[in-house]
């Protein structure tokens, strides 16, 4: 008699033909969502939270977008160069860019996230010190660039040299972790749409980052959210900019392909 | 200096009310929270907001710690001619900041 | 240093994020006293005010609220909002001036727990009007 797969959250249901049927059903529910089933976290938020996101004049994320817009034209570093000096007007040149991140960086040999790319430009092309992780400035620039992809479908590529990172990210997503011994897939593939305490479990799609989260009372990156999830299952979170995070973000990005970018999103 | 986003319609009609929306970047520390060592984090909020049009009052608000972080304020204004809206915020340290927005009556 | 602190807290079985540790909340009696002070001798009636708040609050950190009064804006002097279940019950006081365009004010508020929120409007003739909403506030499932 086959045992239930390791990802089954009900380990006591083992043995007997009924368990095989159950295993089969669970296999169906724990599969990654197909294109038609992909749900943005927006759809699981309350109407009030949706309204906050829908109105640019009421969306607190735009405070960061405004800061990013200002920073875009600011000359910094040894090169005394602004983003605009190389990239011109962001609405034109950054259109569609965020929708393709994370992307594989051939020189680094691994995926790079959008905040990491911005930092790379700062250090290598502007000759400036990197911005502090989760700083308003970095969130602002990321949100400003992200805004230029708003409404466009996510298009994260996982072919060629990105494949090993993609597989590593997928493995992370489906591996049980932490004291609670839960994998991301168990909740966000298997139980999405159901409730944990008073909250609806979303699919965990990254199409709105950086986003304004009511729980944070501020803006934050996908990396911050993943860190929270890891703490949530009582696992040791990865260090900032750890390669595992980029692998996981690459997998999450691919998983969201087709969903429209909503940056700056508002979420509970 | 806090970042402020003011939303005013480009053109308004004489004597017809229009909405003003405001977002202010401020943590509005309530004074009720404790840090991870158990120390109380002191209150630090924007406690007063006054909006005037060419010097005459539109409204004034006394804000308390229950106003959410990154405050959002929305209210209606009515004017008879073009002019300037001035919005003044005062925080717990006594710092005063004024932002302005033009109103064009068509 | 931060990591050790994290492990100590995690090991204790209780991960305490930035959150209030059971502050003393206001009582309906305290709020009634505040309202009595505001209203003075005037009678307060449960009409004319519309306090717009969701009954099921998704996150108590930020709850959209609109207060609208059924009276000409020129007659409206002030709107006060009180939250019976918050540590500090007075939420906001708004006073209306000559250029106010509508008898309405919107903002986002913090609500500590499930409770009753009350809006009181005072008109130029001294009359006082009130609306209240009983709402439910749940804790987020995934803290921070």
CA distance A32 to C1: 38
In a domain, B36, yes or no: no
A171 and A101 both lie in a single domain: no
In a domain, A251, yes or no: yes
CB contact, 8 Å: A186 with chain B? no
3-class SS of residue A70: helix
In a domain, C38, yes or no: yes
Nearest to A63 among B21, B70, B74 (CB): B70
- Residues of chain A in contact with residue B25, where contact means CB-CB under 8 angstroms, are 60, 63
Residue A111 tokens, joined: 């995926």
3-class SS of residue A250: helix
B60 and C94 within 8 Å at the Cβ level: the answer is yes
CA distance A108 to B59: 56
In a domain, A119, yes or no: yes
In a domain, A249, yes or no: yes
CB contact, 8 Å: C139 with chain A? yes
Domain end call among A99, A117, A147: A147
| Residue (of B27, B41, B64) closest to C21 by Cα position | B41
In a domain, A4, yes or no: no
3-class SS of residue A142: helix
B72 and C108 within 8 Å at the Cβ level: the answer is yes
Instruction: Give the number of domains in chain C.
Output: 1
**Residue B37 backbone dihedrals phi, psi, to 5 degrees:** -100, 5
In a domain, B17, yes or no: yes
In a domain, A26, yes or no: no
Instruction: Give the number of domains in chain B.
Output: 1
**Whole-number percent of chain C with pLDDT over 70:** 81
A257 and A239 both lie in a single domain: yes
Q: Give A236→chain B minimum CA distance, Å.
A: 18
CA distance B81 to B12: 9
Residues C128-144 pLDDT 10s: 999 999 999 987 766 66
A179 and A162 both lie in a single domain: yes
C16 and B36 within 8 Å at the Cβ level: the answer is yes
State the pLDDT confidence band at A36, using cuts at 50, 70 and 90: low
Cβ atoms within 10 Å of A14's Cβ, excluding its own = 14
CATH number of the domain residue C94 falls in: 2.60.40.2470
CA angle A228, A232, A234 (to 5 degrees): 115
Residue A232 tokens, joined: 């949530």
In a domain, C100, yes or no: yes
Q: What is the residue range of A91's domain?
A: 55-147
Helix, strand, coil share (%) of chain A residues, nearest 5: 45, 10, 45
CA distance B17 to B24: 23
In a domain, A134, yes or no: yes
CB contact, 8 Å: C142 with chain A? yes
3-class SS of residue A38: coil
CATH number of the domain residue A192 falls in: 1.10.760.10
CB C94 within 8 A of CB B61: yes
Residue C3 above 70 pLDDT?
no
| Residue (of C76, C77, C88) closest to C31 by Cα position | C88
Show Cβ contacts of residue A12 under 8 Å, excluding neighbours closer than 6 positions: none
In a domain, B37, yes or no: no
In a domain, A228, yes or no: yes
| Residue (of A29, A40, A128, A39) closest to A77 by Cα position | A128
Residue A83 tokens, joined: 């983003």
Interface test with C, best of B58, B68, B77, B86 (most C CBs within 10 A): B68
Segment A196-204 mean pLDDT: 89
CATH number of the domain residue B92 falls in: 2.60.40.10
Q: What is the residue range of B65's domain?
A: 4-30+43-103
Handedness of CA A240, A246, A247, A248 (dihedral sign): positive
Is the bond preceding residue A90 a cis peptide, omega within 30 degrees? no
Give C21: exposed, middle or buried? Use CB within 10 Å, 0-12, 13-18, 19+: exposed
Residue C27 pLDDT: 85
Segment C109-135 mean pLDDT: 97
Handedness of CA A158, A163, A165, A167 (dihedral sign): positive
Residue C26 pLDDT: 79
In a domain, C118, yes or no: yes
Domain end call among A120, A147, A174: A147
CA distance C22 to A227: 26
Handedness of CA A172, A173, A178, A182 (dihedral sign): negative
A128 and A224 both lie in a single domain: no
Please give the mean pLDDT across all residues of chain A: 89
Instruction: Give the number of domains in chain A.
Output: 2
Segment A129-146 mean pLDDT: 97
Please give the radius of gyration of chain A, using alpha carbons only, rounded to the nearest integer.
Answer: 20
In a domain, C109, yes or no: yes
A52 and C64 within 8 Å at the Cβ level: the answer is yes
Q: What is the residue range of C131's domain?
A: 21-137
In a domain, C129, yes or no: yes
**Which chain B residue's Cα is nearest to A213?**
B69
Residue A33 pLDDT: 52
CB C99 within 8 A of CB C20: no
CB C92 within 8 A of CB C82: no
Residue A55 tokens, joined: 């109105």
**Which chain A residue's Cα is nearest to C63?**
A48
In a domain, B94, yes or no: yes
A47 and A60 both lie in a single domain: no
Residue spans of beta strands (DSSP E) within chain A:
103-105, 110-112, 195-196, 199-200, 211-213, 218-220, 266-267
| Residue (of A77, A93, A75) closest to A85 by Cα position | A75
Domain end call among A147, A172, A189: A147
CB A217 within 8 A of CB C61: yes
In a domain, C9, yes or no: no
**Which chain C residue's Cα is nearest to A46?**
C58
B23 and A67 within 8 Å at the Cβ level: the answer is no
Rounded to two decimals, what is the model's pTM? 0.88
A140 and A214 both lie in a single domain: no
Give me the tens of pLDDT residue by residue for chain B, a chain 106 residues long: 899 999 999 999 999 999 999 999 999 999 999 998 999 999 999 999 999 999 999 999 999 999 999 999 999 999 999 999 999 999 999 999 999 999 999 9
CB C1 within 8 A of CB C8: no
**Which chain A residue's Cα is nearest to B2?**
A63
Show Cβ contacts of residue A189 under 8 Å, excluding neighbours closer than 6 positions: A29, A30, A31, A32, A33, A203
Residue A50 tokens, joined: 């949706």
In a domain, A11, yes or no: no
In a domain, B82, yes or no: yes
CA distance A226 to A221: 9
- Residues of chain C in contact with residue A215, where contact means CB-CB under 8 angstroms, are 59, 61, 140, 142-144
Residue spans of beta strands (DSSP E) within A89-128:
103-105, 110-112
> Could you tell me which chains touch chain C, where touching means 3 or more CB pairs under 8 A?
A, B
State the pLDDT confidence band at A14, using cuts at 50, 70 and 90: very low
CA distance C62 to C73: 27
A72 and A167 both lie in a single domain: no
State the pLDDT confidence band at C18, using cuts at 50, 70 and 90: low
ipTM of the complex: 0.95
A261 and A189 both lie in a single domain: yes
Residues B91-105 pLDDT 10s: 999 999 999 999 999
| Residue (of A214, A225, A228, A262) closest to A38 by Cα position | A262
- Residues of chain B in contact with residue C91, where contact means CB-CB under 8 angstroms, are 64, 66-67
CB contact, 8 Å: A268 with chain B? no
Residue A9 pLDDT: 45
């Amino acid at each position: 008699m086959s045992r239930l797969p390791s990802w089954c959250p009900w380990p006591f249901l083992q043995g007997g033909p009924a368990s095989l049927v159950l295993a089969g059903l669970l296999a169906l529910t724990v599969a990654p969502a197909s294109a038609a089933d992909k749900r943005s976290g927006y759809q699981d938020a309350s109407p009030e939270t949706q309204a906050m996101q829908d109105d640019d004049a009421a969306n607190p994320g735009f405070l960061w977008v405004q800061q990013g817009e200002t920073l875009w034209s600011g000359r910094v570093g040894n090169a005394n160069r602004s983003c605009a000096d190389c990239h011109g007007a962001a609405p034109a040149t950054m259109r569609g860019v965020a929708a393709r991140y994370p992307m594989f960086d051939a020189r680094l040999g691994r995926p790079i996230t959008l905040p990491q790319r911005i930092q790379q430009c700062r250090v290598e092309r502007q000759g400036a010190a990197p911005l502090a992780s989760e700083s308003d400035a970095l969130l602002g620039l990321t949100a400003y660039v992200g805004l230029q992809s708003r409404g466009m479908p996510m298009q994260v590529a996982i072919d060629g040299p990105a494949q090993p990172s993609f597989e590593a990210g997928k493995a992370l997503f489906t591996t049980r972790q932490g004291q609670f011994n839960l994998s991301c897939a168990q909740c966000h593939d298997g139980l999405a749409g159901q409730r944990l305490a008073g909250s609806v479990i979303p699919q965990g799609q990254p199409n709105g980052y950086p986003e304004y989260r009511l729980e944070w009372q501020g803006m934050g990156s996908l990396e911050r959210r993943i860190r929270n999830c890891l703490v949530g299952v009582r696992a040791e979170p990865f260090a900032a900019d750890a390669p595992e995070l980029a692998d996981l973000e690459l997998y999450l990005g691919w998983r969201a392909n087709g969903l429209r970018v909503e940056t700056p999103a508002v979420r509970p | 200096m806090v970042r402020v986003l003011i939303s005013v319609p480009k053109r308004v009609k004489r004597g017809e009310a229009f909405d003003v929306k405001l977002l202010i970047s401020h943590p509005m520390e309530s004074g009720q929270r404790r840090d991870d060592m158990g120390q109380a984090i002191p209150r630090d909020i924007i406690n007063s907001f006054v909006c005037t049009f060419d010097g005459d009052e539109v409204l004034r608000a006394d804000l308390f710690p229950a106003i959410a972080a990154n405050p959002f304020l929305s209210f209606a204004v009515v004017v008879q001619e073009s002019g300037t809206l001035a919005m003044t915020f005062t925080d717990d340290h006594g710092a005063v900041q004024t932002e302005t927005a033009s109103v064009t009556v068509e | 240093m931060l990591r050790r602190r994290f492990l100590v807290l995690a090991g204790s079985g209780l991960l305490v994020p930035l959150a209030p540790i059971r502050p003393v909340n206001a009582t309906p009696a305290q709020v009634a006293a505040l309202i009595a002070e505001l209203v003075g001798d005037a009678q307060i009636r449960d009409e004319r005010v519309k306090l717009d708040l969701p009954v099921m609050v998704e996150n108590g950190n930020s709850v959209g609220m609109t207060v609208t009064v059924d009276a000409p804006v020129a007659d409206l002097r002030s709107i006060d909002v009180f939250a019976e279940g918050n540590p500090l019950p007075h939420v906001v006081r708004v006073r209306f001036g000559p250029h106010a365009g509508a008898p309405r004010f919107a903002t986002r508020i913090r609500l500590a727990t499930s409770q009753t929120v009350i809006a009181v409007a005072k008109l130029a003739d001294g009359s006082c009007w009130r609306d209240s909403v009983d709402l439910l506030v749940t804790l987020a499932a995934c803290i921070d």
